Amino acid sequence: MKPAIDGSIDVTGQEGARLHISGLFVAFISGLPQLLFPLLAAVFGARKSDNPALIPIMVGAVLALSLFFRWLSWLRFRYHIGDDDIRVEKGILNRTARSIPYERIQDVSIQQKPLARMMGLSEVKFETGGGDGDDAKLSFVTLDEANRLRALVRSRKAGVAVAQNVPEMAESEDTETLFAMDGKRVFILGLYSFSLVIFAVLGGFAQQFDFLLPFDFWDYKRWAGLAEDSGVRVSTINGVGMAGQLILAFGAFTSLIFIGFATGVGRTILCEHGFRLTQTSKGFRRRRGLFTLTDVVMPTHRVQAAVVQTGPIRKRRGWHSLKFVSLAQDSKEESNYVAAPLATLDELWRISKAAGIAAPDGNECLRKGAKLHWIIQIALLMPPLMIAMLALLIFADRPLALMLFLALLLVIAACLFWCDWRRYRFGIDTQQLYMRRGWWRQRLTLAPHIKVQSIEITQGPFGRRFGLATLKFGIAGGTLDMIALPLPMAREIRSAVMEKVAEVDYSAINQSR
């Protein structure tokens, strides 16, 4: 039996299943930005031939070639859902086949971008947590097929025998809504996400496509000339007086602040709209997105550690965020699973409790690191600073001003080290490790003992001289470092954690339950 053209699975045939045919149109439209340079080359080539009629022909040829090769790629793409693994075969001339055993799959996520969402299609991503992102991606299948594939993979991982050709395989029922954000909270999160990335995007666009502009975009004199041609003379601006210039500067600064907040709010609404975290029989299910809808489920036993993050401004209003360090990657941009972008501590501890990570019992288990560690860090800055000052004194025309500037940098660095020491805490209890650090980006990391895979004690030359050490705990998906510990204390913590780890059959700690 051959696979159906809509992407349904044929378990009796050997050819595997194809992606949905409508995905060709979605992929073609989504890939148009990649054709910008070929299209520009075709247009400029046709213009040089002094035959304007060639322009639509050349543009049509580029688009037709792109669509033809996408059709060939779709035609040669197959995916197989077997008893033990998923196999993906692709390639027009050079065929490649990748087999992914079910036990290696950490997460199956479903993503719907705007155009795919309009056509009822979605992307299915199989992630193994190997550090390279997606090991396999199906672009595109129907939403029902995507849900069925995800449920089938989870059933196979759990050792449950299910039929592959059933007409529908329902997603596991949501048992409890752990956290959700309404429009007001998403807007507040956007205000805290101040961003000026739009200027970087516009600057990069102008730099890449400056050949399309009638003049040099970075030529200040040309901009001043355009301003004068528009009736605004630079001399007029210079002659408005100090008060007028301050008003203009204030207006420009206010506009910059407004754009930064507007950009942050816009990006946050696009990403976090409709954020909802629920607990299912399989784990945590997160759905979010305004145009691009993502639906990600992470099994509870994949949680390796929890990271609670806040800042001095957010903390005054009682806002924090929660991320889970996991074997699977949330995306190529971030390696942690965002469980709650903006929540109160009560909401966060409720979520972490569901993941098997308890809230710390106050600050009783948290201790300061040795102040000597930070003093050494500041002292290490002195030799290069003295060399730089000596060089300035010999070679610079105005050494005093530059020396004062370097001294100011040293003072700023010392203040930053002092703030870091004030915030840094580490701790351990009978079940978990704790590490708090950061004065502006404040982070509290909590990791159960049984999730630790390795423990390393390191000492630098100064650490050996003064008896200080750093404990590095290796956990799947990340690390946790405790710094500025007296060596006897580091050894004591290592022994305590290893006793807990030795009691557990670690080979089964991440097996599906």
- pLDDT bin (cut points 50, 70, 90) of residue 9 is very low
Q: Is the pLDDT of residue 4 over 70?
A: no
Q: Which residues contact 95 (CB under 8 A, 6 or more apart)?
A: 76, 89
Give the rounded percent of residues in the chain with a pLDDT score beyond 90. 21
**pLDDT tens profile 402-427:** 778 888 888 888 898 899 998 999 99
Whole-model pTM: value is: 0.74
Q: What is the pLDDT of residue 364?
A: 60
pLDDT at 350 > cutoff 90? yes
From 101-110, 395-404, 500-509, the region with the lowest mean pLDDT: 500-509
Confidence of residue 340 (pLDDT cuts 50, 70, 90): very high
Higher pLDDT, 6 or 157: 157
CA dihedral defined by 94, 95, 101, 102, rounded to 10 degrees? 110
Dihedrals φ, ψ of 292, to 5°? -95, 105
Average pLDDT of 62-87?
Answer: 86
Give mean pLDDT, residues 278-288.
Answer: 86
DSSP-derived letter for residue 17 is: B
Confidence of residue 453 (pLDDT cuts 50, 70, 90): confident
pLDDT in tens, 170-189: 444 557 889 999 999 999 99
Q: Which domains does the chain have, with CATH numbers?
A: 23-171 (2.30.29), 197-271 (no CATH), 371-422 (no CATH)
Average pLDDT over residues 337-349: 93
Arithmetic mean of pLDDT, 144-158: 81
**pLDDT reading at 448 higher than 70:** yes
Distance CA 162, CA 152 (A): 7
The pLDDT value given to residue 222: 55
The reported pLDDT for the residue numbered 281 is 77
User: How large a percentage of the chain has pLDDT more than 70?
Assistant: 77
- Name the most confidently modeled range: 11-20, 162-171, 386-395, 503-512: 386-395
DSSP 8-state code for residue 162: -
Tell me the C-alpha to C-alpha distance, in Å, between residue 265 and each of 95, 183, 312, 344.
45, 11, 20, 20
Return d(Cα 53, Cα 43) in angstroms, integer: 11
